[in-house]
């Protein structure tokens, strides 16, 4: 028996009645309840933000530029695991949709077992990608913060006529005294210095 915690709501995006019916029949409603079936031309971003599905299943014959742009938009603004069912087996198409944000691309006949495997693979790939993005963002932030601290250190060293090592100690003490992050203290120092420059 599926628990509530295991359930993942599904949004189907398709125009093909036959394919919609097939996808619906293959989904276990206890595990993957379908919250809505939406036309591929609909304003998906608003719908996703409002209904908050866990997984998006998109059915198309061949993903055209408009479909790829739609996927790219979803991935950037309201990221979700996206499974695409299509008939286009070309490597170029698969690369394009994957680059846009499709987590799993399925061509060919489907069974209940294959459907579950595809969805699980899409969710796993999506989760991995999100972790990588977070790590990349963290690295970027850390690098920017280091640059800010270095710049503030130079300002303090110039103002006090001391070494950068001493300036760093001063900044650390300020951060400890004010219970703030060193990067935040550095930003404040730079802001004040810019005010005086004006």
Are both 143 and 100 inside the same structural domain? no
Are both 102 and 31 inside the same structural domain? yes
Supply the mean pLDDT for the chain.
90
In a domain, 74, yes or no: yes
Are both 36 and 93 inside the same structural domain? yes
pTM of the model: 0.71
In a domain, 154, yes or no: yes
pLDDT digits (tens, 9 = 90+) for 47-94: 898 899 999 999 999 999 999 999 999 999 999 999 999 999 999 999
Given 54, 75, 110, which residue is the final one in a domain?
Answer: 110
Are both 89 and 35 inside the same structural domain? yes
| Separation of CA 59 from chain center | 22
Q: Contact at 8 Å (CB) between 145 and 184?
A: no
Are both 10 and 106 inside the same structural domain? yes
pLDDT digits (tens, 9 = 90+) for 5-31: 578 999 999 999 999 999 999 998 899
> How much of the chain, in percent, has pLDDT values that exceed 90?
69
Q: Which residue in 60, 64, 105, 110 sits closest to 81, CA to CA?
A: 105
In a domain, 117, yes or no: no
Residue 131 reports pLDDT greater than 80: yes
Residue 198 — pLDDT band, cuts 50, 70, 90?
low
In a domain, 126, yes or no: no
Given 63, 95, 110, which residue is the final one in a domain?
Answer: 110
Are both 14 and 106 inside the same structural domain? yes
Total tally of structural domains belonging to the chain: 2
pLDDT of residue 1: 46
What range defines the domain where residue 185 resides? 136-197
57: which strand partners? 12, 83
In a domain, 124, yes or no: no
Are both 106 and 15 inside the same structural domain? yes
How far is residue 6 from each of residues 33, 140, 162, measured CA to CA in Å? Answer: 11, 34, 60
**CATH code for the domain in which residue 85 is found:** 3.40.50.2300
């Amino acid at each position: 028996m599926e628990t509530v915690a295991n359930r993942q709501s599904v949004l189907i995006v398709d125009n093909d009645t036959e394919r919609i019916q097939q996808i619906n029949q293959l989904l276990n409603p206890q595990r993957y309840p379908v919250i809505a079936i939406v036309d591929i031309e609909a304003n998906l971003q608003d719908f996703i933000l409002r209904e908050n599905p866990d997984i998006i299943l998109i059915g198309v014959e061949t993903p055209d530029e408009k479909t790829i742009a739609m996927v790219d938009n979803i991935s950037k603004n309201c990221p979700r695991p996206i499974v695409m069912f299509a008939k286009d087996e070309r490597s170029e198409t698969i690369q394009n949709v994957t680059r846009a944000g499709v987590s799993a691309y399925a061509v060919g006949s489907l069974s209940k077992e294959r459907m579950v495997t595809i969805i699980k693979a899409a969710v796993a790939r999506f989760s991995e990608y999100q972790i990588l993005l977070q790590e990349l963002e963290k690295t970027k932030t850390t690098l920017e913060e280091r640059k800010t601290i270095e710049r503030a250190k130079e300002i303090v060293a110039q103002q006090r006529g001391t070494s950068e090592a001493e300036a760093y100690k001063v900044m650390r003490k300020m951060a400890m005294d004010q219970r703030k992050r060193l990067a935040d203290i550095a930003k404040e120092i730079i802001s004040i210095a810019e005010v005086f420059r004006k």
